[in-house]
Amino acid sequence: MSAFSQDILELLRLDYGVSPEQASTVQIYDAVSRAAMAQARRRWQTPARGKRACYFSAEFLMGRMIGANLYNMGLLKECASFLAAHGLDMNMFEEIGDAALGNGGLGRLAACFLDSAATCGVPLDGYGIRYRYGLFAQTFEDGFQKEAPDDWQRFTDPWAVRREEDAVLIRFADQTVRAVPYDSPVIGCGENALVNTLRLWQAEAQRPFDFDLFNRQKYSAAVEERDRAEAISAVLYPNDDTREGKRLRLKQQYFFSAASLADLVKRYKAAHGPDLSGFAEAYAIQLNDTHPTISIPELLRLLMEEGMDFDAAFAVVCRTFAYTNHTIMAEALEKWDVNLFKSVVPQLYPYVELLENALEMELALRRVPREKKQNYRIICRGQIHMARMAIFATHSTNGVARIHTEIIKHSALPEWYALWPERFNNKTNGITQRRWLALCNPELSGLITQRIGDGWITDLDQLKRLVPYADDPATQDAFLAVKEEKKRQLAQVIRSKEGFRLDPTFLYDIQIKRLHEYKRQFMNALSILDLYYGIKEGRITDLQPTAFLFGAKAAPGYYRAKGIIKLINEIARLVDGDEAVRGLLQVVFVQNYNVSYAEKLIPAAEVSEQISTAGTEASGTSNMKFMLNGAVTLGTYDGANIEIVEAAGEENNYIFGARVEDIEKLRQSYDPKQIYQAEPRVRRVMDALVDGTLSDGSTGVFRELYDSILEGASWHRPDQYYLLLDLIPYCETRLRLNRDVRDRRAFAKKCLLNIANAGQFSSDRTIRQYAREIWSV
């Protein structure tokens, strides 16, 4: 028996006193994970030499770690045979909840980057927060979203090690807390692999919980101090949530930024002595969005308190940090109220003022006219603009897809680009093919490897060698057989999780992503209604039966997004209850969409819905996951969709709708009511919201959705995201797609060409670009 299998048996016996046959799923999970950890540990030590990069991120959406780690370590097969020998199988781990310490794309990107860096030999460590509760667990009750706390630690946390010795104290105006790090090994795959570290900080009371049971006052005070400290890392903020709690959010940001920097400074001094002037040659720090930007004044403070003057310290700060912008939506650009900031971290405010003064000098030097200065000020009208600080005090600002970077340079932040053009650069996002193909789709991986070998696992560009096979009928048929198998598997998952019988002979058309108006799940819903009425009215005949699948969480405070979930669930009910369409349409909204669900949904997809309003989706990454698994994109000219169709061919995808330039031209004159009046199909589907066809349980939310399109609201104009503008072209493009899929082999060819051209969307490529062009590691 192998050492690995022996370790598992030993851990089960010693820690739980059970045999594999007697053990619970969580016990097996814990023992297998820790047996693997024991092996990873041998390669897991930080090398003393050489520059390291650090990824500061408020979110790491890791998903389930066991599969990916075993895969990368080459232990997956061994684990499977160990389990089989005891009458078990890997599917048992489906019970283990995800580590969902992130909202969506931004957090998942951080996770993909860690995997790629470790695989490509790039020394990159992740720094973030060990939230006690991850993103809420979602269920539907009568079609409405319900939220429950996500207690992910109840499955134990065998992939992390508490490092008591590296705890640091973090000071706020009204409390001081201890930041205790939990480290996870980030295990790369293949020959160049490293074992890097993900370090997540947990907030605890400064002193041990020394309660005095017999002194009620002392006891309550101790309890209160503990709870107040632990609150800082208790919950992940759902994005798009603009309600109160800002103060805690700021504390979270300072908490992990200050802890991470204290850690790096301590390590630096241990290796290089007390003079910090070489700090930027030892560490490169990437700020994942503005959430960790408070690190900038914090590092300035640490350097100046060590005796460095401002100019020297500022130079170190600029050379150390780089900033990734993830959105240009005004409401998502972070600003902090000056008074709030001062009341949370007063020790930092003088350093923000120093930055503001330095900016003022720079603007004067560059002769920026007075009236233009407003666009630059870090401290402006009582607020601190974090994106401005991030651009000014770093050496690199990057967007996450080509169009997004162009929009940053030329329309979102042109005044900054004018002064510092050399700082702006693009790093198109990517995804790790280990999780998003090898692990989640072994059937397709097997087919690919059978044709071109397995080099693609660490070099995704090798997929290009599939191009000649796209025309090969045997490969086309094999691909279709794999797709059918993945659809059958998904139908089974959905049957058991949702109690819904998905027909595996239908075309699977999938939209999965956070629920947001700009992503336009609402437009998808309207287009399904158009199909529904088209069938009923006899306008649409011989439709290839289609199943529409959705997965999305809405931020708990985002009323309209929750209304859209209810709407889609009501459309599902309408379709399901109608004999005339039941054989042609299915609609299902899966509950609790997360990384593990995505791993089931994506391999089964034939159509990838990427329909954001042009100019709003910075990049998207689910579009890349679908492409890699052989789905065609039905999408707008937005984010990375543009690069996807450029690589895979417009003829192999389905692009529709207004482009950024069209929308810019139209902006002032756009009138959705005109479209509503002129186009009976649009009128028909919009009216279904308010004429009693669909019921919102008397909440009024469907009326609100209707009004948001046709009337607008005080804070936005009618149809802010141009749903009605794109609706009919969308429906027509989808019908064209639906006609095309009948030629199964021709469709398989399109899918194969998407796979063959997905190489550039590996996060291995992205991480190498960051390493070379930004971090110099």
609 vs 696 by CB, closer to ligand PLP: 609
Identify residue 590 by its one-letter amino acid code: V
Q: Are 721 and 616 in contact (CB under 8 A)?
A: yes
Cα–Cα distance measured from residue 215 to residue 213, given in angstroms and rounded to the nearest whole number: 6
Q: Are 676 and 710 in contact (CB under 8 A)?
A: yes
Q: Which of 52, 409, 513, 566 is catalytic?
A: 513
The secondary structure of residue 236, as a DSSP letter, is P
In this structure, are strands 124-129 and 195-205 parallel, antiparallel, or unpaired?
parallel
What is the smallest separation between the CB atom of 22 and ligand PLP, expressed in angstroms?
A: 34
User: CA angle at residue 552 from 186 to 718, to 5 degrees?
Assistant: 130
512 vs 588 by CB, closer to ligand PLP: 512
Q: Are 599 and 510 in contact (CB under 8 A)?
A: no
621 catalytic per annotation:
yes
**From 217-225, 378-386, 577-585, 591-599, span contacting ligand PLP (CB under 6 A):** 591-599
Query: What is the four-CA torsion angle of 432, 290, 152, 76, rounded to 10 degrees?
Result: 20
User: CA angle at residue 713 from 413 to 562, to 5 degrees?
Assistant: 90
What is the smallest separation between the CB atom of 177 and ligand PLP, expressed in angstroms?
A: 30
In this structure, are strands 546-551 and 507-512 parallel, antiparallel, or unpaired?
parallel
Neighbours of 219 (CB within 10 A): 13
Count of chain residues binding ligand PLP (CB under 6 A): 11
Q: Tell me which residues in 730-749 interact with ligand PLP (CB under 6 A).
A: none
What is the smallest separation between the CB atom of 429 and ligand PLP, expressed in angstroms?
A: 8
104 vs 123 by CB, closer to ligand PLP: 104
What is the smallest separation between the CB atom of 596 and ligand PLP, expressed in angstroms?
A: 8
Cα–Cα distance measured from residue 93 to residue 90, given in angstroms and rounded to the nearest whole number: 6
Contact between 430 and ligand PLP per CB under 6 A? no
What is the smallest separation between the CB atom of 624 and ligand PLP, expressed in angstroms?
A: 8
Q: Are 189 and 130 in contact (CB under 8 A)?
A: no
625 catalytic per annotation:
yes
Cα–Cα distance measured from residue 303 to residue 316, given in angstroms and rounded to the nearest whole number: 9
139 vs 677 by CB, closer to ligand PLP: 139
Q: Which of 291, 519, 681, 684 is catalytic?
A: 519
Contact mark string toward ligand PLP, 7..36, x via CB under 6 A? ------------------------------
What is the smallest separation between the CB atom of 605 and ligand PLP, expressed in angstroms?
A: 12
Contact mark string toward ligand PLP, 180..219, x via CB under 6 A? ----------------------------------------
549 three-class SS: strand
Q: Which of 487, 625, 749, 750 is catalytic?
A: 625
Contact between 549 and ligand PLP per CB under 6 A? no
The packing angle between helices 295-305 and 349-365, to 10°, is: 100
Report how many helices (DSSP H) and strands (DSSP E) the chain contains, helices first.
31, 23
Closest CA to 698 of 148, 142, 147, 138: 142
Contact mark string toward ligand PLP, 606..645, x via CB under 6 A? --------------xxx--x--------------------
Among 20, 31, 71, 108, indicate the residue that binds ligand PLP (CB under 6 A): 108
Contact mark string toward ligand PLP, 483..512, x via CB under 6 A? ------------------------------
5 three-class SS: helix
Q: Which of 251, 404, 514, 684 is catalytic?
A: 514
Q: Are 691 and 706 in contact (CB under 8 A)?
A: no
83 vs 117 by CB, closer to ligand PLP: 117
Closest CA to 505 of 525, 484, 489: 484
71 vs 341 by CB, closer to ligand PLP: 71
What is the smallest separation between the CB atom of 598 and ligand PLP, expressed in angstroms?
A: 4
Among 64, 251, 404, 513, indicate the residue that binds ligand PLP (CB under 6 A): 513
Buried b / exposed e over 138-163, threshold 16 CB at 10 Å, is: bebeebbbebeebebeebebbbbbee
519 catalytic per annotation:
yes
Structure-token pair, residue 497: 């999780």
What is the smallest separation between the CB atom of 430 and ligand PLP, expressed in angstroms?
A: 11
Cα–Cα distance measured from residue 685 to residue 702, given in angstroms and rounded to the nearest whole number: 12
321 three-class SS: strand
Neighbours of 15 (CB within 10 A): 12
Among 99, 110, 203, 598, indicate the residue that binds ligand PLP (CB under 6 A): 598
237 vs 416 by CB, closer to ligand PLP: 237
79 vs 403 by CB, closer to ligand PLP: 403
What is the smallest separation between the CB atom of 518 and ligand PLP, expressed in angstroms?
A: 10
Report residue 690: phi and psi, to 5°.
Answer: -125, 0
Q: Which of 397, 432, 621, 633 is catalytic?
A: 621
Displacement of CA 438 from its chain's centroid (Å): 20
What is the C-alpha end-to-end distance of the chain, expressed in Å?
Answer: 41
318 three-class SS: helix
Among 20, 97, 105, 563, indicate the residue that binds ligand PLP (CB under 6 A): 105
428 vs 621 by CB, closer to ligand PLP: 621
Identify residue 424 by its one-letter amino acid code: F
**From 101-109, 267-275, 530-538, 724-732, span contacting ligand PLP (CB under 6 A):** 101-109
Question: CB under 8 Å to 307, separation ≥6 — which residues?
Answer: none
Contact between 104 and ligand PLP per CB under 6 A? yes
What is the smallest separation between the CB atom of 428 and ligand PLP, expressed in angstroms?
A: 13
The secondary structure of residue 20, as a DSSP letter, is T
Question: Which sequence positions are flagged as catalytic?
Answer: 326, 513-514, 519, 621, 625
| Residues binding ligand PLP (CB under 6 A) | 104-105, 108, 513, 594-595, 598, 620-622, 625
